[in-house]
Amino acid sequence: HVDVMTALVSFDRVFEVLDLKPLIRDREDARPLGERRAPAGNGAGPSLAKAPSVQFDHVRFAYPAADEVSLASLESIARTDTSPSREVLHDVDFRAEPGQLVALVGPSGAGKSTITHLVSRLYDVSGGAVRVGGADVRDVTLESLRAEIGVVSQDAHLFHDSIRENMRYARPDATDEEILAAVEAAHIGDLVADMPDGLDTVVGDRGYRLSGGEKQRLAIARLLLKAPSVVVLDEATAHLDSESEAAVQRALRTALAGRTSLVIAHRLSTIREADQILVIENGRVAERGRHEELLLQGGLYAELYRTQFSHQRDGRQTEPLGAE
Ligand code: ATP
């Protein structure tokens, strides 16, 4: 009869798992990530207290396979060991100090996005630990963790709604003044001021037409409004004209200042400014260092630089190797 009970409980859990996919949820004793927000400030949202470090401590990771998830649930939801063949991150170890900009570069499929997903705990690691502000992300509440992290993905998504509502998505209680300050800080204030209905202007599909660079700056304004202490950014690869490029770059500099940032970098200016560049290859950190150091090593980074970064704008603007 004990076996029957176990089986029934497990059966329930299978359905729970099938419904919810991998179960990432708070531990019963999860506590909020340390108090990091200062009282509401002026300008573009709450002022920031000190940004936390982000540390990967010998992280191994395999995406859960569907059969594995339900098998694990029959034994214990918490089981995480997985076959090494599907492991996509092997012993990834680094530390972004508070306020640092860490650039992730590397070939397609190397594991860069996977690394950024683990910071927000979209999945749990198979080995090692991810720490934010020294706390294992599995020990803190998901709500408090994700409140600290601002994520900007490749294609800045705007809803078919007003600028105001698109911005309030980041912070529902934001006032018009706060929204305008964020928009200004993201170097898109002039455009919004010139729009037919200001903050009421409807953007997104079938709305006011925005260029790629303008959409990116609105996404950055949204990030500024959220004012997270950690930023996870997948830089857009889309080619922008050099004027938009420069405006986006200025907006990004504002957005990343004072925040601990992990950036999947596609822009030469970002990797040049990075405090650390991690070259990811086959789920490992193959090389690490600053731009000049890595160029001198003449390894994978130097190769990536030649093939992806050195001529990314247009032929005329190619900068000679090592020039600052
Ligand atoms: P890109 O530059 O092309 O975006 P990347 O370096 O970000 O690549 P990841 O997207 O992290 O690489 O992928 C790393 C590995 O994990 C790849 O082998 C990929 O096929 C695999 N992978 C990514 N997402 C999933 C998923 N949801 N389920 C299973 N495997 C995945």
Residue 63 C-alpha to ligand 1 middle, in angstroms? 9
Give the pTM: 0.80
| Residue 121 Rama label (left phi>0; alpha psi -120 to 50; beta) | left
Q: Does the Cβ of 110 fall within 6 Å of ligand 1?
A: yes
DSSP code string of 273-308:
H-SEEEEEETTEEEEEE-HHHHHHHTSHHHHHIIII
Name the E strands within the chain. Answer: 54-62, 87-96, 101-105, 127-132, 135-136, 149-152, 161-162, 202-203, 230-234, 260-264, 276-281, 284-289
Alpha carbon of 123 to ligand 1 centroid (Å): 13
113 CB less than 6 Å from ligand 1? yes
DSSP annotation of 309 reads I
- Which DSSP category does 126 fall into? S
Residues whose CB is less than 8 angstroms from the CB of residue 172 and which lie 6 or more positions away in sequence, other chains included: none
How many other C-beta atoms lie within 10 A of the C-beta of residue 198? 14
**CA 95 / ligand 1 centre spacing (Å):** 22
Strand 127-132, strand 87-96: pairing:
unpaired
CA of 233 to the centre of ligand 1 (A): 16
Q: Is the CB of 217 under 6 A from ligand 1?
A: no
Specify which residues 237 forms β-bridges with.
Answer: none
Evaluate: CB of 63 within 6 angstroms of ligand 1: yes
Which ligand 1 atom minimizes the distance to the CA of 110? Answer: 6
Cβ(121)–Cβ(25) below 8 Å: no
pLDDT, tens digit only, all 324 positions of the chain? 555 555 555 555 555 545 545 578 899 899 999 854 444 444 444 444 589 999 999 999 999 876 555 555 555 444 444 444 589 999 999 999 999 999 999 999 999 999 999 999 999 999 999 999 999 999 999 999 999 999 988 777 788 999 999 999 889 999 999 999 999 999 999 999 999 899 999 998 778 888 888 888 999 999 999 999 999 999 877 667 777 788 888 888 889 999 999 999 988 889 999 999 999 999 999 999 999 999 999 999 999 999 888 776 543 344 444 443
Distance CA 301, CA 41 (A): 41
Question: What is the three-class DSSP state of 178?
Answer: helix
